[in-house]
Amino acid sequence: MGRLVVVSNRVADPRKTAAGGLAVALGEVLNDSGGLWFGWSGKLVEEPVGTETQMHVHHAGPVTLATVDLTREDYDAYYVGYSNGVLWPVFHYRLDLADFDAGYIEGYRRVNQMFARRLLAMLQPDDVIWVQDYHLIPLAAELRSLGCTQRIGYFLHIPLPPPLILAAIPGHDWLMKGLCAYDLVGFQSNADLDHFCRYIQDEAHAQPAGEGRWRVFNRFIHAAAFPIGIDVGEFRALTAAPEAQEMYQRMSREYSRRKLLVGVDRLDYSKGLPQRMRAFRELLARYPETRQSATLIQIASPSREDVSAYTDILHELESLCGSINGNYGELDWMPVRYMHRTVARARLPGLYRASRVALVTPLRDGMNLVCKEFIAAQNPEDPGVLVLSRFAGAAEQLKEALLVNPYDSEGTAAAIHLALQMPLEERRERHKALLATIRRTDVHWWCDSFLDLLGQAEAEESGTPWL
Ligand code: ADQ
């Protein structure tokens, strides 16, 4: 296969450990092929100097990082407006939170056209392009309309809802036709894949053309599920490193008489944080023995504070935590410790390892990597228990977790109670199976299996070029 070109909204320097598993895994394959990573610089300018905004090119070893600035107007429409005000809520089944302002879709298209134009100038004939996530769905169609014939793959990190939810987006046909300009489209789960296949059959008369292959809009595409993973080896090494060890010891000392429950999320309405608090309140109400003996640490990192739905969820969460502590707290015990901040990546594994139970209860999540990190950080001799929402993509794989419906606070409280009381032997058995699964499908497997299939698609006739 030729040089790899990764395109994503943001570009991370893969040599920095804070970048996380995905950036590191992509960095490795980019390294091997002397690849290019292209995206937004994170910088905003009021007006471009000349006709285009500035391009920044850096070298990280053999990898080239190329980024472009955005104007504020483009950022407001493309990023805040369409990506996070329309696609994020609708793809997480929240039509009620979507803001279908007509100007947003124009800005989204304009930025994708600008990305296509500027990327095209950097492409080589045998490049293989891999586009990431919902910000860039129309990128391949824009590239194709400029004459790009290179292989292009796409991976959606968030869920894809059923056809009738997608159909609520004005311009959904344009958006979904854009997905069909790729050679391979990857999803997190079989449920998402099934929604895509149903959509293209119902709305675009797609014809099956063999294993995962479709004929649609007069060309062939592949569609498949590639559940993303973490770098289990790297995460276990991080767990053994001094910063995580220090965190682990501090937490174990502080909570030696109590069982610790942990939640770690971006503060996002998809993560089900108020529902989680209600389930925890239900636990304290229904199982009085958990009072004084269990503490929930909830860390919610600030996220997208320029989108109004995010400030609403912040206030709801603060008020729930306050009322639980007010109603159930004692002079020497507070049921919830809530922090609105990010924990350093190097310390996170220590917190996971000191916790008896992880609460990963999103209302919808493409995959969710926190639950995989929690599993990786556990001591296999005395592991904690994962309480996982059935609506996280990860639930398709992690069958040995305690699966819950986060909308059902009584049922979730009962599962948390079970988790707190689970005997050691059962905890070990469940953890062993979960660890084997996340090892088998780690982030390197994800990268390799996607690129292998994209490589196979290369050998085939894709049909007529995009019109
Ligand atoms: P996210 O919605 O960001 O990702 P997730 O998969 O859980 O969700 O990844 C979050 C990452 O950020 C994890 O590595 C976690 O450790 C870290 N993180 C979260 N909160 C933190 C905090 N308070 N402090 C420190 N670190 C924190 C999107 C999709 C997911 C999909 C991923 C990858 O929404 O469904 O799993 O992409 O494809």
- pLDDT tens for 88-107 read 999 999 999 999 999 999 99
The predicted model gives 215-236 an average pLDDT of 96
Q: Is the pLDDT confidence value at 459 over 80?
A: no
pLDDT in tens, 1-49: 789 999 999 998 777 755 566 787 788 889 888 999 999 999 999 887 7
Residues 291 and 381 in one domain: yes
In a domain, 463, yes or no: no
Does 214 share its domain with 240? no
- Closest alpha carbon to 440 in 358, 357, 376: 376
Answer whether 369 contacts ligand 1 (Cβ < 6 A): yes
268 catalytically annotated: no
Residue 466 resides in a domain: no
Tell me what pLDDT residue 252 has: 95
Q: Answer yes or no: is the C-beta of 87 below 6 A from any ligand 1 atom.
A: no
Q: What is the model's pLDDT at position 457?
A: 81
pLDDT above 90 for 132: yes
| Sign of the torsion formed by the C-alpha atoms of 421, 392, 129 and 79 | negative
Q: Please state which of the ranges 22-31, 206-215, 242-251, 320-329 shows the lowest mean pLDDT.
A: 22-31
Catalytic residue among 135, 157, 195, 431: 157
145 and 288 part of one domain: no
Residue 30 and residue 154 share a domain: yes
Given the cut 0.90, state whether the ipTM is greater than it: yes
Ligand 1 pocket check for 21: Cβ under 6 Å:
no
Neighbours of 113 (CB within 10 A): 17
Query: How far is it, in rounded angstroms, from Cα 21 to Cα 215?
Result: 34
Catalytic residue, chosen from 365, 431, 442, 444, is: 365
393 and 321 in a common domain: yes
Pocket test for ligand 1, best of 92, 133, 266 (most atoms within 8 A of CB): 266
Is residue 157 annotated as part of the catalytic site, yes or no?
A: yes
Percent of the chain with pLDDT over 70: 97
* 367 close to ligand 1 (CB < 6 Angstrom): yes
> Are both 136 and 241 inside the same structural domain?
no
Q: What is the pLDDT of residue 18?
A: 58
Over residues 384-412, the pLDDT tens digits come to 999 999 999 999 999 999 999 999 999 99
Give the residue among 192, 222, 228 at the shortest CA–CA distance from 210.
Answer: 222
Q: For ligand 1, what atom is nearest to the CA of residue 271?
A: 2
When divided into structural domains, the chain yields a total of: 2
The verdict on the CB of residue 373 being under 6 Å from ligand 1 is yes
Q: Is residue 464 part of a domain?
A: no
**Lowest-confidence range among 276-280, 303-307, 402-406, 418-422?**
303-307
Q: What is the mean pLDDT of residues 430-453?
A: 97
- Residue 275: CATH number of its domain: 3.40.50.2000
Identify whether residues 287 and 313 lie together within a single domain: yes
Looking at every residue in the chain, the average pLDDT score rounds to 94
Residue 461 inside a domain? The answer is no
Among the atoms of ligand 1, which is closest to the Cα of residue 344?
A: 25
If asked whether residues 118 and 171 sit together in one domain, one would say yes
In a domain, residue 332? The reply is: yes
**pTM metric for this prediction:** 0.96
Structural domain of 69: 4-229+445-456
Does any ligand 1 atom lie closer than 6 A to the CB of residue 83?
no
Q: Whose CA is nearest to atom 8 of ligand 1?
A: 368
Does the residue 56 lie in any domain?
yes
142 with 160, same domain: the answer is yes
Would you say residue 240 has pLDDT above 70?
yes
Taking 60 as the threshold, does the pLDDT of residue 467 lie above it? no
426 Cβ contact list (under 8 Å, min separation 6): none
Same domain, 152 and 25: yes
Same domain, 122 and 178: yes
Residue 91 and residue 168 in one domain: yes
Q: How many CA atoms lie within 13 A of 29 on its CB side?
A: 25
